[in-house]
Chain A
């Protein structure tokens, strides 16, 4: 283990443990006004009129007419309105905000606001969708020839559901408009995304916009795009409040029902098999985008680039669509489109293997990509692919082969067991050329005369420990004690734009920038002087330039790798399954802090297992999501996975700090198919969708009994 991997006490540990860390909801409410959002009760309707009741002194209403700039939230395409103007496009679409000093009074007043609608027909099921927001095609090899020469052709459709980020701290922001300047602070991943959105909606130049991240109680992507929307809404309210700050804190139900989630997907995969080998894959991937585009373009890109998984399939045809429905807009969630396609490819490989009488793991291993191979987009796997060794580790830890054989035997009694394994990657950092062409990260180090050094960057610590790991890197290069290097929550008035806290990029990309800045500072170090150094992103030389219009080139400079095995037991009377154990090996390069990385891996893995089964959320025929509380949307507790063993496999990445690469998202991405593979073994039947419920299990048990009879 490298010395840098040795764990330290996290920078924010004591403040959080002792309860003294201040989250956005913790500021004194006496000092500010509260806001409550009125939302559309219809999935699709035209707004005919809005009528306000007489409001008590100190209370006021805010709607699209109050937006001083442009009534659009800048995300990727700016089709999300700050407040609905002509139409509402989903149940929950914000129409207006009521603002005033007392929350109870706001709750009493809100139902008195009368909005008249002309109800329009909604599209709820993505299969009925006729508006395609994004439509991408790419491929390689000779698909037609492969299909023509195939011994067998498999075609299957896979479906995945919503997943709610369920960060423990709901969304919340405070806005304050003073002397022509808007300040927004609170719970967020990307201060500069919020900054850009505010400038447009408020019609202000960048220097009149200030965004500060407060201690943030979890994000997982849920605080990537959404805070930009909420920020504009609260900022408009503050603009009207004339010098009084306005705060909005969501309740859990509001947060679960109306904020962005993981895109539900529908993947139809067709594979050609020749001489026991998959020679071609034709993948059609449809993501349910919801009512507005938000981040769907980029989520879809990452999803379809991973369409063929970790397998070398010579002919590939990929077609991806993000389709509009009149449901809550889906956005970023850890994994960003890849969990959906990895579910599809992993299950398809399982099914093809079984149909040809081969053990799925052996079949998968025969198809693995290797260093130097071409990626789905004609880029390269530039670095070693450690999957075979990682599979070996997981096999040993879990006693996989023996259990797999044992559970393949007829099982008696009322329970059935199974074990399954899955393999995956996560492209480290932004997809494509985003880092080079759009983000252009800048960071600084400021050295005080007394020798202390402050990091100036825009990364948000959302629990992943970036405050600690960035300081470790800088302290290490400068030979300083960890206490001598500090990193405050980003404030756009003070820090340059080093990019958003997304895409598992912060440590790998910004960490490396800071490492280089520290080396430079070291070479220029002058005792007793106040000094600042600045560093700009530069794409590593080996990268094959990526063209998004053609989906050609290196979509990612490098990849993090994952292997996971899951052992389950199903009660055949109730259909309920329990996870007995899970084992995983993850390669995220050099861990900059062993504890921190292990914590990321364990937490992400548990989210991935939740995604596969217990976390069930659906829109009903009217487009309403009813699973809007922790009693209806169940996330794993400490009891649900009694044994979880995670091993780190280290394949250092030369262009990441000390060999580190992207980590945060990886563990979630491919956990679901391992779980479903285990259930397939226990239930002796094929699985095509997640989340997989107890009722689904009962159906499958019935089916396989019938098949036996």
Chain B
């Protein structure tokens, strides 16, 4: 049964016509062709599909479309247009925290959430903020360092 679900996607008002039970991940990738949102497991275990819903980190594979009605959804495509992304991206670059890249869109959004909550995060706060996002390549050290650098360089942004 098709429904009209209105929400904000990367700053734009959109209306999704489909089932409220459709999964946000599929809709983002297929309907809106936002393929920066990755699928690593499809069952809420890896964080590759992370998006922001009203500023909170969410695994889009576990979110039904009904839940995003009137919400603000931000994917890496939208976030990459921001000043905060620029700071994070440069920090990730400085320590080469991107390896295969598959976890990275999710990681960057998780980093954003860490900094939004703790503009001056401790290492423990960073590690716990990333704990829902698996990375098989880096061993996480570089990502943790990138967030520390971003916190310094982006002083005042968060």
Q: Is the CB of B96 within 8 A of A252?
A: no
B140 interfacial contact with A, CB 8 Å = yes
Cα-based distance from A23 to B89 in the complex (angstroms)? 20
In the complex, the chain A residue whose C-beta lies closest to that of B138 is A603
Taking the closest CB of chain A, its distance from the CB of B120, in whole angstroms, is 18
Chain B residues lying within 8 Å of A637, measured Cβ to Cβ, are 130-132, 134, 140
Cα-based distance from A638 to B142 in the complex (angstroms)? 11
Cα-based distance from A252 to B39 in the complex (angstroms)? 9
Within 8 A of A (CB), among B1-36: 29-30, 33-36
Within 8 Å by CB of A639, from B76, B99, B128, B139, lies: B128
Taking the closest CB of chain A, its distance from the CB of B110, in whole angstroms, is 9
Q: Is the CB of B136 within 8 A of A215?
A: no
Q: Is the CB of A17 within 8 A of B101?
A: yes
Cα-based distance from A464 to B40 in the complex (angstroms)? 19
A630 touching B130 in the complex, CB below 8 Å, given contacts A462-B100, A599-B97, A603-B137: no
Chain B interface helix/strand/loop/mixed: loop
Taking the closest CB of chain B, its distance from the CB of A599, in whole angstroms, is 5
A19 touching B75 in the complex, CB below 8 Å, given contacts A26-B35, A29-B30, A602-B142: yes
B143 interfacial contact with A, CB 8 Å = yes
A289 interfacial contact with B, CB 8 Å = no
Within 8 Å by CB of A22, from B35, B80, B95, lies: B35
Q: Is the CB of A218 within 8 A of B131?
A: no
A412 interfacial contact with B, CB 8 Å = no
Chain A residues lying within 8 Å of B30, measured Cβ to Cβ, are 29
Cα-based distance from A224 to B113 in the complex (angstroms)? 36
Q: Is the CB of A463 within 8 A of B42?
A: no
Chain A interface helix/strand/loop/mixed: loop
Count chain B residues whose beta carbon lies closer than 8 angstroms to a beta carbon of A: 56
In the complex, the chain B residue whose C-beta lies closest to that of A255 is B41
Q: Is the CB of A465 within 8 A of B102?
A: no
Chain A residues lying within 8 Å of B97, measured Cβ to Cβ, are 599
A642 touching B127 in the complex, CB below 8 Å, given contacts A13-B98, A635-B134: yes
Q: Is the CB of B139 within 8 A of A602?
A: yes
Q: Is the CB of A599 within 8 A of B142?
A: yes
Taking the closest CB of chain B, its distance from the CB of A399, in whole angstroms, is 20
Chain A residues lying within 8 Å of B141, measured Cβ to Cβ, are 598, 602, 644, 646
Q: Is the CB of A16 within 8 A of B104?
A: yes
Q: Is the CB of A167 within 8 A of B100?
A: yes
Contact with B along A620-641 (1 / 0, CB 8 A): 0000000001110001011101
Among A14, A15, A19, A644, find the residue whose CB has the most chain B CB atoms closer than 10 A. Answer: A19
Chain A residues lying within 8 Å of B77, measured Cβ to Cβ, are 18-20
User: What are 10 A-to-B residue pairs whose CB atoms are below 8 Å?
Assistant: A9-B93, A12-B98, A13-B96, A16-B98, A168-B135, A219-B100, A599-B138, A602-B142, A607-B136, A638-B127
Chain B contacts to A: CB under 8 angstroms: 29-30, 33-43, 45-46, 48, 75-77, 80, 85, 89, 92-93, 95-105, 108, 123-124, 126-128, 130-144
Q: List 17 additional contacts besides A22-B35, A603-B135, A605-B139; criterion CB under 8 Å.
A: A16-B100, A16-B104, A19-B80, A19-B104, A20-B80, A167-B102, A170-B40, A218-B99, A218-B100, A252-B43, A598-B141, A602-B140, A603-B137, A635-B134, A637-B132, A638-B140, A644-B139
